[in-house]
Amino acid sequence: MHGREGPGRESRVLSVKLGGSVITDKEKPFTLRLGLVEQVAGALAEAAEATGSRYMIVLGGGSYGHVAAHELRRGSAPVPEALSAITAAMLELAQAVADVLSMKGLRPVLYPPHAFCQPRGLRPGCAWRHVLEAFHAGATPVLYGDAYPCSSGWCIVSGDELAVEAACAIGASHVLYVSDVDGIYGVGGKLLERVTLNDVARLASLSSRQSGYDVTGGLARKIEALRENWCSTLRGVWVVNGLFPERVKALIMGERVPATLVLP
């Protein structure tokens, strides 16, 4: 099979970012892709049972947080209204996903980032103590992109950044970005099996100058977040297509699937 071998059985601790394009329908505001979420959650649970892996799970905003934030910014909503609406939207999404994870036996515990993180730029700055206590007790912490008060009124802490800092907090060897694309593409649309952060930055710059189209699949901010938050325990970041949940399971189990491994 085309693709690279995943982290495999030696990787017992993983940070998993479930992209908003996978868990929600971005064409329909506040719409969960329930069937797909069930399949992805099942894949994670089966891989955990087979390998003994443990997860920190981070959710993207998709048609919940992103839609709410866009509408509120467009309407110049007061800060209290914006904070209330966005945090409520993301909590609704997180609870829905957590219900599915629970049904699959992953024992989720929700942690709203606005309650324990103090972002500075692309660094979430979270106080991980209680999250780690739950993780080491056998629970699966679930975080998500969120809104918080800042000097300009209200700001967003992204799941992309949280996923990397979470990986470093638990000593994870890999982050899995579960997206709606097979990985990172080079010029000509070829799927790249292995890239460095510098490679991706050059690709993004080249594609922007030549065609205005981001051949990285919208990963520019993710790369910035990786640069800012990478740590010594982190060996790589996988980008895998969650529209094919069996690939997520196979990747965690060390099998070859279409995917991209990002290295520092």
The domain ranges of the chain are: 4-263
> Which pair of tokens denotes residue 57?
């799970």
Q: How far is CA 83 from CA 65, 75, 148, in A?
A: 11, 14, 7
DSSP strand pairing (140-144 vs 54-59): parallel
Q: Give dist(CA 57, CA 35) in Å, integer.
A: 18
First and final C-alpha spacing in the chain: 26
- Residue-level pLDDT at 26: 87
Q: Give dist(CA 185, CA 45) in Å, integer.
A: 29
- Residue-level pLDDT at 164: 96
Vertex 224 angle, CA 222 and 225, to 5°: 65
- Residue-level pLDDT at 11: 57
Tell me the residue length of the chain: 264
- Residue-level pLDDT at 204: 66
C-alpha gyration radius of the chain: 17
Vertex 236 angle, CA 201 and 146, to 5°: 75
The whole-angstrom distance between residue 34's C-alpha and the CA centroid of its chain comes to: 18
- Residue-level pLDDT at 216: 34
- Residues of the chain falling short of pLDDT 70: 1-5, 7-11, 75, 204-220
Which fold is adopted by the domain 4-263? Carbamate kinase (3.40.1160)
Element spanning 132, H or E: helix 129-136
**Does the CA dihedral 28-29-34-36 come out positive or negative?**
positive
User: pTM for the complete prediction?
Assistant: 0.90
| CA proximity to 224, closest of 237, 213, 235 | 237
Vertex 232 angle, CA 49 and 206, to 5°: 95
